[in-house]
Amino acid sequence: AQTVTQSQPEMSVQEAETVTLSCTYDTSENNYYLFWYKQPPSRQMILVIRQEAYKQQNATENRFSVNFQKAAKSFSLKISDSQLGDTAMYFCAFMKQPSGGYQKVTFGTGTKLQVIP
Amino acid sequence: DVKVTQSSRYLVKRTGEKVFLECVQDMDHENMFWYRQDPGLGLRLIYFSYDVKMKEKGDIPEGYSVSREKKERFSLILESASTNQTSMYLCASSYSSYNEQFFGPGTRLTVL
């Protein structure tokens, strides 16, 4: 079974600064997908960024980028130029290569990020 | 944009009541999921469905059942609600098994 660990339950960052959220996972799979989801207070969870394990290049989406270290099974999220709207719970998620229509995503316990004005 | 809606944002029920949570997606997604979210535990999968009338147990199916009579609608049923089912319930859908999941706004259920 896969496990996803987010070791930082809460973090804070000053507006305009950079923050890195950590995530490690445990799997024996070689092909899989990793995600970061954002859940703002009282709002819907949305996908921030996605990484395919076979891709060596780290994914980026505007101010969000990841540091994917496959050998270390690490998948950290870096938020640059933090904005007040980045205040949210962030979940790291793992999905192994689907088979037979079966899509199983394992989520971490989340990191609550507070951006301070 | 994909829209996933849930029938209620907040729900209060009494122990022993039968509870229905409804989820509808408007983008013809194949897969639909029900999770519960609890502080410190993240999201845990209750049930999922990859086709109409098909369902599979997730990690914590005990005390729950589901129904998917139409592709766009996935219902979670608590046959006899108990206080330990007080939680946030999230519905999600995905176009295929290779695509990311889109989430609904959640239903915060309180069982008294």
Q: Domain coordinates of chain B in residue numbers?
A: 4-111
Q: Does any CB of chain A come closer than 8 Å to the CB of residue B60?
A: no
* Residue from B100, B103, B98, B99 nearest B74 by CA: B103
- Write the residue in A9, A46, A102 that is nearest to B97 by C-beta: A102
Backbone angles phi, psi at A83, to 5 degrees: -120, 160
Cα R_g (chain A), whole angstroms: 14
Q: Does any CB of chain B come closer than 8 Å to the CB of residue A101?
A: yes
- Render each residue's pLDDT in chain A as its tens digit; 117 residues: 789 999 999 999 999 999 999 999 999 988 999 999 999 998 899 999 999 999 989 999 999 999 999 999 999 999 999 999 999 999 999 998 877 667 889 999 999 999 999
Q: Does any CB of chain A come closer than 8 Å to the CB of residue B100?
A: yes
State whether B42 and A50 contact (CB < 8 Å): no
**Which homologous superfamily is A3-98+105-116 in?**
Immunoglobulins (2.60.40.10)
Look up residue A79 and give its DSSP letter: E
- The amino acid at residue B109 is L
CATH classification code of B4-111: 2.60.40.10
- Write the residue in A33, A43, A109 that is nearest to B42 by C-beta: A109
- The amino acid at residue B88 is M
**Are the beta carbons of A88 and A113 closer than 8 angstroms?**
yes
Q: Which of B97, B98, B103, B107 to mutate to test the interface with A (most CBs of A within 10 A)?
A: B97
Q: Does any CB of chain A come closer than 8 Å to the CB of residue B104?
A: yes
Closest-CA residue of B relative to A94 is: B100
